[in-house]
């Protein structure tokens, strides 16, 4: 996504989120979170926290978590995947930080066969679908898809077996 399109999307999120948000994170807080997780956040994901606010906004009643909670991670998650919102019923939204488009994933820990599903091919598209009312969780979209489940995330097996790189010394 080019910078102008990303700027426009950030502006749309900021307008939709409204004024009552936690303040954005500082550059130091972002750097500390990236150091804790061991890799940089995707540009657009980092910009949400640096330019919109430290969580507190998102689809319907499901706000993005504060960056500190995102960086803390969760047990048993594949390398490079960070959960960032709670959909309820044990489901969470996550972002693939290692892919250039930052795909958004749906984590279903109770699904033993496919615990991670492909929600959106990119964070930019996920945000646009949310803002435009076209996302899978919208009532009209669910009805049109007749409850069809999101497809399994194709990178799941490789990422679950991936080991994080050894820290440089």
State the pTM of this model: 0.87
- Residue 82: its H or E element: strand 81-88
Query: How many angstroms separate the Cα of 114 from the Cα of each of 35, 74, 109, 122, 141?
Result: 30, 17, 9, 20, 22
pLDDT by residue (tens digit) across 49-108?
A: 999 999 999 998 899 999 999 999 877 788 999 999 999 888 899 999 999 999 999 999
Domain ranges of the chain: 3-161
pLDDT of residue 113: 85
Residue 75 Rama label (left phi>0; alpha psi -120 to 50; beta) = beta
Is 3.40.1580.10 the CATH classification of the domain at 3-161? yes
Q: Comparing C-alpha atoms, which of 90, 95, 63 is closest to residue 78?
A: 95
Helix, strand, or coil (residue 81): strand
């Amino acid at each position: 996504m080019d910078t102008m399109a990303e700027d426009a999307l950030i502006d749309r999120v900021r307008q939709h989120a409204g004024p009552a948000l936690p303040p954005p994170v500082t550059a130091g807080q972002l750097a500390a979170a990236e150091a804790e997780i061991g890799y940089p956040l995707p540009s657009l994901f980092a910009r949400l926290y640096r330019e919109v606010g430290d969580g507190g906004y998102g689809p319907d009643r499901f706000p993005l978590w504060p960056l500190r909670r995102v960086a803390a991670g969760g047990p048993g998650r594949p390398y490079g995947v960070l959960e960032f919102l709670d959909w309820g019923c044990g489901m969470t939204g996550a972002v693939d930080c290692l892919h250039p488009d930052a795909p958004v994933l749906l984590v279903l820990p109770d699904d033993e066969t496919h615990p991670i599903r492909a929600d959106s091919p990119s964070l930019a598209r996920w945000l646009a679908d949310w803002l435009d009312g076209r996302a899978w969780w919208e009532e009209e979209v669910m009805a049109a898809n007749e409850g069809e489940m999101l497809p399994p995330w194709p990178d799941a097996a490789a990422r679950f077996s991936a080991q994080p790189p050894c820290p440089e010394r």
